[in-house]
Structure 1
Amino acid sequence: MKKNLLLLAGFLFACQWMMYSQGAPSYEGGYKVKFDEDGKKYFRILSWAQVQGVYADEVPDDVSHFNFNLRRARVLMYAQLNDKFLILTHFGLNNLNANSLSPTGKGDGSQLFFHDVWAQYNLNEHHSVGGGLHYFNGISRLNNQSTLNMLTLDNNRQSWSTLGLSDQFARHIGVFGKGNFGKFQYQVAINDAITDGLDMRMPEDGGAPVYGGRRLLGSRDAGMVYAGYFDYNFLDQESNFLPYKVGTYLGGKPIFNVGAGFFLHPNGSVKLEGAELIGEDVSIFAIDVFYDAPLGEKGSSITAYATFQSNDYGTDYLYSAYGTGSMIYGHVGYVFNGDVNKTRLQPYVSYGSNSYDAVDDNRNIFGVGANAYFAGHHSKLTMEYKNEKFGDVKLGTITLQAMIYL
């Protein structure tokens, strides 16, 4: 135990040194290459990496309490030929560790894959349509969360409510529309559902359904999904140029948004009655509120978020992180006074509770942590303790993450 904690402390010191040496307070919009004087033709590239050291208190006897993890390694590029057209490409990998590494880098866990590839046509200044492998999701702000600027160490897992069930890593192939009417913003999508998702179980006679509508019933009866998210910006207007929602602005501007969203998959789940496969609709709805604002004139700020979500994956459905029932989740963080070009600290707490119709126990998750910003989100160190309890299963983890974003 002491040895593992010493390793974690050493990792903290090394990451802090790297961040001071590589931080870029004068980032000023990143690497954007303009091909004309007015900037309507341009190309931009972003890259980021998140490296973790993780200590878990409840593991099997033959498993180490401590391990390293390359949580994310990503590259995102987008370009405009003119102000009417945009193309975006986003690729990378996730969770590369000792168990997913391969001897020559050819294993499944070592492979890069496309997260997003879509093309977009701007109807006018306020409305756009597009299609491809995209992230214009419904349900809630957290189902559209950016991984570049989260308040907590990572997103609330249960908020990525269809990840791997109907999509590829929270992305569908389909078409979308997005835009705004003044302070009211919207994004809607019609997509194909994945055929072979995470839930590859076969339904049992009289048992709970499985999420495999397209696989078991075919694309005609269970092939399409529908999603949308809508929010009203009471204070400053957030950008919806890209779908990735900001987790914390660090007091950069006052934001107060109230949102609501949905996800519908007709016949998405399937149960077996005798010899007949019966489809059940999957429907998920959520409301949420997001607040981020500076406090005073010395760099302090507050970030707060709360959501309620109703999940219907079919009668008594329960699989991994997903289950028919309801969820409440919230987090709050505070940035202490400080120079924006120097180190700033942001402690935070989070809490989520998930109820499931299939069982009596709730899944309760509590987190407490702190971010150290050396150049805003471009150079950040996060330490978090998370405790999760579900029935007889209890898990406590301490994670230290170093992030660089250019």
Structure 2
Amino acid sequence: MRKQLILLFGLTFFTLQFTYSQGSPDYTGGLKVKLNEEGSKYFRIISWAQFWARYQDEVPDDVSNTSMSIRRARILTYAQINKDFLILTHFGLNSLNGNNQSPLGFGEESQLFFHDVWVQYSIGKNHVVGGGLHYWNGISRLNNQSTLNIMTLDNNRQSWATIGLSDQFARHIGIFAKGAFGKLQYRVSVNESGTNNLQETVAAPIAGESAVYAGRRLLGSKDAGKNFAGYFDYNFLDQESNFLPYKVGSYIGGKKIFNVGAGFFFHPNGSVIANSTGELEGEDVAIFAVDAFYDAPLGENGSAITAYATYQNNDYGENFTLGQTYETGSMIYGHVGYVIPNDNKKTKFQPYASFNTRSIDAIDDNATTFGVGANAYFSGHNSKITLEYLNTKYGDNDAQSFLTLQAMIYL
């Protein structure tokens, strides 16, 4: 393991030199092109990339302990012809690595796809309706997390609670409404549930065994085709923007935020079980969560704190479990980060810790994940390095450990 650690820290040094030259502390990100003198008509383009180098402790004998990947490569653009209409398009790829590269960049292996495509219309000063492939999700703040400014290395995986089950990578095709009543922000949606999902290879549930998330495929779109979602958060201090759906992971002391929220996801007959006679029966999928987020500067010395906690209850159907990621049960998750005081306003350092514990009905046991890491910011989230150690244990299985270095540029 010593050689692998030397390699990772060598990559860290190399990447620090690369990212230091990018951007500046007052850089706001993106390319905004005005289409009239007032700037009321415009389009904006945002691009970001995240590179990972990872060491994994326990792997099969024929698998390397170290790996490299493009965790995310994205382009997002949105445009307004006036203040009442907006169109947004977001495309890119995820987790491109040595096992899933396409020889010529296209074909079945290609990962480039649309993440978001939606249009929206203002119906008042603080209220908007829209439709398309969208990210106005329910459940929790982390189910609406931006990948541009996550405080930890990556989002808490179980908080993206429907990826690949009812949606396309955390996005549903549907209609949404979002807005604010004073300090209370809301987002609600009615969506189509996907027919093809991570359990599409499962023909049907077996009598006496766990539920299968295949309601639309096995019962039809009339009984299991729609799902409903919502998230509501009250902004006690500074008001967060809800112009776009992507929730900020850490303001690094740039704002004083304290929000408390609650949300849900409900898919009638989303899962299916087989009774004692083999007849298929639908089971409702119901997920809800409560959470709290605090982010604020501490004094005048540049220090700041970011803290988040959530409780989430997951009902995917009787004893549902899939890939040590989705389970019927409950979850408590939290993280906290601290920006170290520093007179150099260009560079900020933020150590952090995270913890996740889940109860799992199917195995009558728990899963736990613990992480510690640090961010080095060279131009806020526009240019940063993250190094994180993560340890995860699932029931009686042996614990798995990961050490990951991330380099990120956001323009």
Confirm or deny a common fold (TM above 0.5).
Answer: yes
Q: Residue in 1 aligned with 2:246?
A: 244
Matched, 1:304 2:297: no
Matched, 1:403 2:405: no
Q: Residue in 2 aligned with 1:14?
A: 14
CA distance in 2, matches of 1:237, 1:214: 39
**Number of equivalences:** 406
Q: Residue in 1 aligned with 2:274?
A: 272
- Describe the superposition over 1:187-229 as per-residue Cα deviations: whole angstroms up to 9, x where unpaired: 0000000001112222011211100000110000100000000
Matched, 1:67 2:63: no
CA distance in 1, matches of 2:301, 2:381: 19
Shift of 1:26: 3.2
CA distance in 2, matches of 1:336, 1:3: 30
Q: Residue in 2 aligned with 1:170?
A: 170
Q: Residue in 1 aligned with 2:367?
A: 363
CA distance in 1, matches of 2:310, 2:74: 28
Aligned mate of 2:237, from 232, 235, 242: 235
Query: Which sits farther off after the overlay, 121-130 or 108-117?
Result: 108-117
Give the unaligned 5+ runs of structure 1: none
- Describe the superposition over 1:273-298 as per-residue Cα deviations: whole angstroms up to 9, x where unpaired: 22311000000010000000000112
Query: Which sits farther off after the overlay, 104-113 or 125-134?
Result: 104-113
SS of 2:16's equivalent in the other structure is helix
Q: Residue in 2 aligned with 1:324?
A: 328
Q: Residue in 1 aligned with 2:380?
A: 376
After superposition, the Cα gap between the structure-2 partners of 1:359 and 1:187, relative to the gap in structure 1 and judged at 3 Å, is same
- Describe the superposition over 1:301-351 as per-residue Cα deviations: whole angstroms up to 9, x where unpaired: 000000001111111111121111100000000001124742110000000
CA distance in 2, matches of 1:301, 1:341: 13
Verify the 8 A CA contact 1:205 1:272 in the aligned structure 2. Answer: yes
Aligned mate of 1:338, from 342, 346, 362: 342
Query: Which sits farther off after the overlay, 208-217 or 31-40?
Result: 31-40
Q: Residue in 2 aligned with 1:87?
A: 87
CA distance in 2, matches of 1:194, 1:340: 49
Q: CA RMSD in A?
A: 1.1
CA distance in 1, matches of 2:345, 2:89: 31
CA distance in 2, matches of 1:179, 1:374: 33
Verify the 8 A CA contact 1:121 1:129 in the aligned structure 2. Answer: yes
CA distance in 2, matches of 1:26, 1:289: 29
Shift of 1:110: 3.3
Verify the 8 A CA contact 1:205 1:271 in the aligned structure 2. Answer: yes
Matched, 1:315 2:318: yes
Shift of 1:25: 2.3
Q: Residue in 2 aligned with 1:216?
A: 218
Q: Residue in 2 aligned with 1:351?
A: 355
Give the unaligned 5+ runs of structure 2: none
Within-5 A mapping of 1:101-120: 101-120=101-120
SS of 1:15's equivalent in the other structure is helix
Shift of 1:29: 4.9
CA distance in 1, matches of 2:142, 2:406: 20
Verify the 8 A CA contact 1:136 1:187 in the aligned structure 2. Answer: yes
CA distance in 2, matches of 1:119, 1:340: 42
State the TM-score, normalized to the length of structure 2.
0.97
Verify the 8 A CA contact 1:96 1:110 in the aligned structure 2. Answer: no
State the TM-score, normalized to the length of structure 1.
0.98
